[in-house]
Amino acid sequence: MDTVRDSIGEARMLEDGTIVLWLRAEGPNGQVGDGFLRYELSDPKYAEIKKHIGDIKPGESKPVPPWTK
């Protein structure tokens, strides 16, 4: 049975509005992958990422919920 985690990493909004994500993926056979993503205000995916994360303000950090298929 698959277990869904509440968070796949952490999001932080920098003072200039940039969103940085530290994410972790774990596979069924012990595989692990880490990622660092940076979304500046000019990034075409910025609004989508911010919507997924939810309410976040400059200087704040919060958990990143998993994306659904």
> Tell me: the pLDDT tens digits for 42-69?
999 999 999 999 999 999 999 999 988 6
- Of the CA atoms within 13 Å of residue 28, those in its CB half-sphere come to 3
Provide the phi-psi class of 39: left if phi over 0, else alpha when psi is between -120 and 50, else beta.
beta
> In this structure, are residues 37 and 6 in contact, taking their beta carbons and an 8 Å threshold?
no
Encode pLDDT of 10-33 as tens digits: 999 999 999 999 999 888 899 999
pTM for the model stands at 0.84
Outline where 1-69 has alpha helix (H): 46-53
